Each structure stands twice: as C-alpha cells, then as structure tokens.
Amino acid sequence: MSNPYEYYPNLYRAAQPAQGQGQGQGQQTGQGQGYAAPSGGMITQQGQVTASASMFEQSYVENILRANRGKIATVYMTFSGHQQQVFVGYIMGAGRDHIVLRDVNTTKTFILLTIYLDYVTFDEEIALPYQL
C-alpha cells in the first residue's frame, strides 16, 4: 500500500493558528487563540469546538449517507489498480473517511474507506440534510 501521508497531507500537520485569531481579536473576546478544527469549526484553547456559519452550508457524502441510515444503497468502489467492485447493503453509518454497510444477503458488515468511493446509488428516494 502506498504512503497514507499522500492521501491525507493536512491531517498529519501540526495545528496552526487560524486566520484572524490569536493576537487581539480572539483574546479580546476571552475565547483564547483558535485552531482550525477538521470539521470546519474552530477549537478554542479550552477545547471547545465552535461552528462557523459556512460549516452548515457545506454538503458532504457522509452527511447524506447518515441521513439515509437503514436504507439499501449500492456502493461502487475502485481499489488501487483493480476493477470496480460493487457492494449492496444497508447503510449502518458513515464517517469522514468510511462507510459502514451491512450486506443484504449475509450477516457480513463492511467498513469501506471513502478514499476508494466512486459513487453511491439508491433505488428509492433519499433524505437530504439540507433544502434544495
């Protein structure tokens, strides 16, 4: 397998002060210096995560999959240098980097890494975590 640092270069960097935080602005409000959180929010020195307005306007595959837990999905994935593989199952959960799928015909549960995800289809109407 290739180096994981190639896939997630920002994940392994040390936390950097966020733009506009630190001197003056953050300390005047008593919140301390903020650091960029992976979710798009801010983490204060006290360890609290605050959400930014733009965070709620963003749409991610994991949010759509979470909104459709329990539904049957067809997940198409291509692993490094291989043919596309198809997984059909119930969506059990989803995270930033993975999908948990339970096979419809067996009791087997798969944890699929989204780095290999091509696309997902549903045979029914899906719920969206935002308004169209």
Rounded CA separation 41/128 (Å): 21
**In this predicted model, what pLDDT tens digit does every residue of 94-106 receive, in sequence order?**
999 999 999 999 9
Structure tokens at 123: 């045979």
Counting beta carbons within 10 angstroms of the beta carbon of residue 5, is it exposed (0 to 12), middle (13 to 18) or buried (19 or more)? exposed
DSSP state of 125: -
- Cβ–Cβ < 8 Å for 30, 95: no
pLDDT digits (tens, 9 = 90+) for 63-86: 999 999 999 999 999 998 889 999
- Give the tokens for residue 13: 């960097």
pTM: 0.57
**What span, in angstroms and rounded, lies between the C-alpha atoms of 119 and 112?**
12
Closest among 109, 69, 115 to 93, alpha carbons compared? 69
Query: Quick one: CA torsion of 30, 34, 38, 39, rounded to 10 degrees?
Result: 30
